[in-house]
Amino acid sequence: MKSVQKIIVPLQSHFRSPLRRSSSIAQTTAFPQTDGNVKTFSELPGPTGIHDIPYLGMALHFKPFTKYEILDDFVEVMTSFREKYGDIFKVRAGNKHVIHVCHPDIADQIYKLPYKENHRHFPGMIEAFYKYNDIPRALSMRSGKDWAKLRTPSNEHLLKPKAMANFTPLIERVANDFIEKLKKELQMNDAVREISKYAYECVGIASFNKRYGCLNDSSQDEMLDLLNTILKTLQTAFLMPFDINRYYKTKTYREFEQTFLHLQEFLKKNMEEQILRLNTMRDDGTLKDYLQNEYNFLYAMLSGGKLPPEEIVTLISDLHTGAVEGLGNGITFVLCDLALNPDKQETLYEEITQIVGDKSVIGIDALQKMSYLQACIKESQRITYPFTGMLRIPESDVTIAGYRIPKGTNININHKMMSLDGRFFPQPTKFLPERWTRDGNTDVIDKGYTNFPNVIVKPFGLGVRSCAGVRVAKPAMMLSVAKIIQNFEVSLPNGEKEIKTTRLLFPTPKVPVNLCLKPRQSSYSN
């Protein structure tokens, strides 16, 4: 790859912190203190007998042994365990146990443990893949120093508050094109698929300042299928009771390997093209002007000089795999919640028109003022939590909630269950964005809907290992939802009242969701 050593440092810009809410844990929900006697790991409650047999135990809770599907009903099964065993229990996963934590007080203790290595658990398929293929490991598949080596220099460009201001104008271009397309179509058949195309364009422009063109060109859909296959095979590998991919190239392994290598090649080619473009601008003297008008992430990473190009391409591949499914599903669920709650949709529309009227450029400052929009997104993520939980692995033996837990134990902080727990969120399935607004409304406050522990709903994770793409994800979510509601009344066809979910890595509607878009008058007046 060609070097871009002489390229000048990019422009700075500013961004205020997004909505933050502090709330104290309701006294009635505090985790009961233990009697002071520390219990052993084996005394931790959880399924026993045949359900505790290595490799087999977990599988026995699902089809064909029970009526439960592993993808659709995982949370239902875990909820039944919580009801039976309490807020902390262990279940068999492979030859080890995973501890599930379903109370914010215990979650808080685990998040506050010291972590140096920030380990993650990877299925054997990942270990086998990197044994057979001599390419740098993806960021999300690294631990320890190897992880920090890639994550620390990328944080400088991805996570500093100014990052959101840098990415927003680029993403807004994509969002405007998406709206123009929707104005012609006036519906979204298979909303996740349509919004995934938007997400893929967002990540293309954020990574390479390039438009892949998939909003208007179905031949580009191949890459969406490929990203989908990567996540599907990863999910299958995570859930397989026997870690067979570690030893044998199964169909799942082969599909993963083929698609993942294809993605790497595709991104490498794109990166080479973009480096050539930057070098051409440098040589013809237009680079400085260009960089004054447009943020360029690739340029920032390369000119920072802290990572070699092959590591940068690895990081960009993580941005692609994390983004498309997360955003495609996340945005779809927000729109569905607004469609199912027309009064909330109207309140959001009023906020948008008050702040930007029917202008087609929103921009970072206006976006930051849209507190109801942020609340709608957060409330939707609470109801359809993007992950089952966050994994933490203690790096020394610790005592948690009265139990001695050996170092290296996988602990799943089960945010999904906590965020739908009536002890913390009265009427937990009710879509109430007012839970998250500072002023709320008195009815919502009087009913106690707002008094919940802050640690529960953290859809982008917590701490150093949280979402590396959050400053891309947030404007992509906010701009698309704001612009869609600014231009259309969104509804579900035939009075549908519920969206059933299953999951890939992220939750996704069980059957494709169609959204009806009725133009608002103002969207045709400009």
Binding site for ligand HEM (CB under 6 A): 120, 139-140, 151, 203, 318-319, 322-323, 326-327, 330, 386-387, 390, 459-461, 465-469, 472-473
Q: Which is nearer to ligand HEM, 51 or 120 (CB)?
A: 120
Q: Which is nearer to ligand HEM, 59 or 481 (CB)?
A: 481
Sign of CA dihedral 44, 49, 50, 54: positive
User: Do the annotations mark residue 467 as ligand-binding?
Assistant: yes
Q: Minimum distance from CB of 508 to ligand HEM (Å)?
A: 12
Q: Minimum distance from CB of 170 to ligand HEM (Å)?
A: 12
Q: Minimum distance from CB of 284 to ligand HEM (Å)?
A: 31
Q: Which is nearer to ligand HEM, 18 or 54 (CB)?
A: 18
Q: Minimum distance from CB of 32 to ligand HEM (Å)?
A: 28
Question: Quick one: how far is CA 513 from the chain centroid?
Answer: 20
**CB-based burial of residue 160 (10 Å sphere; 0-12 exposed, 13-18 middle, 19+ buried)?**
middle
Collect all residues with Cβ–Cβ distance below 8 Å to 435 and sequence separation of at least 6: 375, 379, 382, 425, 444, 449, 450, 452
Q: Minimum distance from CB of 497 to ligand HEM (Å)?
A: 24
CB 373 within 8 A of CB 337: no
Q: Which is nearer to ligand HEM, 282 or 474 (CB)?
A: 474
| Host H or E run for residue 410 | strand 410-413
Q: Which is nearer to ligand HEM, 344 or 415 (CB)?
A: 415
| Host H or E run for residue 475 | helix 470-487
Q: Which is nearer to ligand HEM, 345 or 384 (CB)?
A: 384
Distance CA 408, CA 64 (A): 31
Query: Phi/psi at 129 (nearest 5 deg)?
Result: -55, -45
Distance CA 312, CA 301 (A): 7
Q: Minimum distance from CB of 480 to ligand HEM (Å)?
A: 11
Q: Which is nearer to ligand HEM, 195 or 339 (CB)?
A: 195
Shortest Cβ contact with ligand HEM: which residue? 469
Distance CA 255, CA 138 (A): 17
- Angle between helix 251-284 and 309-340 (nearest 10): 110
Distance CA 506, CA 472 (A): 17
Q: Minimum distance from CB of 472 to ligand HEM (Å)?
A: 4
Distance CA 378, CA 436 (A): 8
Q: Which is nearer to ligand HEM, 451 or 480 (CB)?
A: 480
Distance CA 22, CA 442 (A): 18
Distance CA 393, CA 395 (A): 6
Q: Minimum distance from CB of 252 to ligand HEM (Å)?
A: 21
Question: Quick one: how far is CA 172 from the chain centroid?
Answer: 20
Which residues define the annotated binding site for heme?
Answer: 467
Which residues define the annotated binding site?
Answer: 467
